[in-house]
Amino acid sequence: MIIEMPSTTTNDVNKRLVKLRDEGGAVALGRVLTLIVDVGTSDVEEAIEAANFASREHPCRVIVIAPNNRRAADSLDAQIRIGGDAGASEVVVLHPSGALREHGDTLVIPLLLPDAPIVAWWPYEVPANPASDPIGRMAQRRITDSTECSHPLGALHQLATVYEPGDTDLAWTRITLWRGLLAAALDQPPYEPVTKVVVAGESTHPSVDLLAAWLAQELRCPVEIERKKDAPAITLVRLERKSGSIVLDRPDGKTAALRQPGQPEHRISLPIRQLAECLAEELRRLDSDEVYADALTKGLARLA
């Protein structure tokens, strides 16, 4: 069910939520967190769809801020989605206009769940400093997605200069399976040091750089990035050792081949991870990701 509330206030929106909960029997105590989504001027539907998917694992209240740039007057239009249009969450979409566009933190305060953690998510453009952003200052966890920025690699390096505990990026989440497979391969004999790493992938995809940065930080060896235009994200990782190379090759973005000296080739399903899956993974933890912090703040510098 979708309820439109033009020219309203957040206090009125909150009262309507309480009324709907009383009438429909929804239990607010079942929500484990508040997810604040700042979409800027981009379309809200993709972000809401991903949040609804993640809410089935993490029941939450989703507050989407989507400024209305077509109206100059100071006003607020709102929309409430519950039931089948909201997954296992309550979705509130706020369209502030005029001066209200600069006060997103004030707008969401009446809608926050009491005593519940707050997670901020920017699904498109990244703020200059997520931790000092008005919404980011309210949150225990701050999720960005440099992959969707207009300048992905520039955004990634900007995030590295302003990192604070609690920050994370979905470009990092997209390489979770790659990191697991490579770590498992290195845990097998022979236990030789890696002398060189080659990472190949799409020329501007930040996940390529983050995977290379993680390997550079963990293995302390030279790392080379081969950038390919229009490649499907990460396509290959080669870990060179004295006895032979470990190669994880995924040219089609779907199935990978793992080749190791003295072993038959292994075929592994390794599709490009989707937005909803990555968001659900990041909502599983509210503490700082120290491995991501090291890859971002130290590993990228090693690549340079």
In a domain, 289, yes or no: no
Residue where a domain terminates, one of 145, 169, 193: 169
Task: Judge whether 163 lies within some domain.
Answer: yes
The reply to whether 182 and 33 lie within a common domain is: no
How far apart, in whole angstroms, are the C-alpha atoms of residue 211 and residue 227?
Answer: 13
Judged by average pLDDT, the poorest of 29-33, 88-92, 147-151 is: 29-33
Domain shared by 92 and 196, yes or no: no
Asked whether residue 251 falls in the same domain as residue 122, the answer is no
* Local confidence band at 27 (pLDDT 50, 70, 90 cut-offs): very low
pLDDT at 23 over 80: no
Domain for residue 282, yes or no? no
Q: How confident is the model at residue 24 (pLDDT cuts 50, 70, 90)?
A: low
Which contiguous run of DSSP H or E holds residue 76?
strand 75-81
Do residue 82 and residue 207 come from a single domain?
no
> Are 93 and 126 contained in the same domain?
yes
Query: What residues contact residue 184 under an 8 Å CB cut-off, 6+ apart?
Result: none
- Categorize the per-residue pLDDT at 25 as very low, low, confident or very high, splitting at 50, 70 and 90: low
Phi and psi angles of residue 24, each rounded to the nearest 5 degrees, phi first: -95, -10
Compare 28 and 298 and report the one with higher pLDDT: 298
Mean pLDDT, range 38-62, rounded to an integer: 94
Residues 220, 189, single domain; the answer is yes
The pLDDT score that the predictor gives to residue 73 is 84
Answer yes or no: do 134 and 198 share one domain: no
Rounded to an integer, what distance in angstroms lies between the CA atom of residue 115 and that of residue 213? 37
In-domain check, residue 291: no
**Does the residue 288 lie in any domain?**
no
The domain boundary, picked from 133, 152, 169, lies at 169
Name the residue range of residue 231's domain: 176-269
Least confident segment among 23-32, 92-101, 123-132, 205-214: 23-32
What confidence tens digit (pLDDT) does each residue in 104-148 have?
A: 999 999 999 999 999 999 999 999 999 999 999 999 999 999 999
What mean pLDDT comes out for the span 249-259? Answer: 97
User: For residue 190, is the peptide bond before it cis, meaning its omega torsion is within 30 degrees of 0?
Assistant: yes
- Do 52 and 98 belong to one domain? yes
Instruction: Evaluate if pTM is beyond 0.75.
Output: yes
> Are 101 and 29 in a shared domain?
yes
Same domain, 12 and 131: yes
Last residue of a domain, one of 110, 143, 169: 169
Q: Give the separation between CA 263 and CA 268, rounded to whole angstroms.
A: 15
**Contact (CB, 8 A) for 170 and 143:** yes
Query: Which of the two residues, 304 and 107, has the higher pLDDT score?
Result: 107
Determine contact, residues 95/76, Cβ cutoff 8 Å: yes
For the ranges 19-33, 57-71, 182-196, the lowest mean pLDDT is seen at 19-33
pLDDT digits (tens, 9 = 90+) for 197-236: 999 999 999 999 999 999 999 999 999 999 999 999 999 9
Q: Are residues 125 and 151 in the same domain?
A: yes
Give yes or no: residues 113 and 78 share one domain: yes
> ∠ at Cα 175 (57, 121), nearest 5°?
50
- In Å, how far from its chain's centre is CA 284? 12
Name the nearest CA neighbour of 90 among 67, 116, 72, 63.
63
Give the neighbor-by-neighbor strand order of the sheet with 75-81.
2-5, 75-81, 90-97, 60-65, 33-38, 118-122, 141-144, 167-169
Provide the domain count of the chain.
Answer: 2
CA atoms of 304 and 101, how far apart (whole Å): 38
Average pLDDT over residues 28-38: 83
Across 98-106, average pLDDT: 91
d(CA 213, CA 211): 5
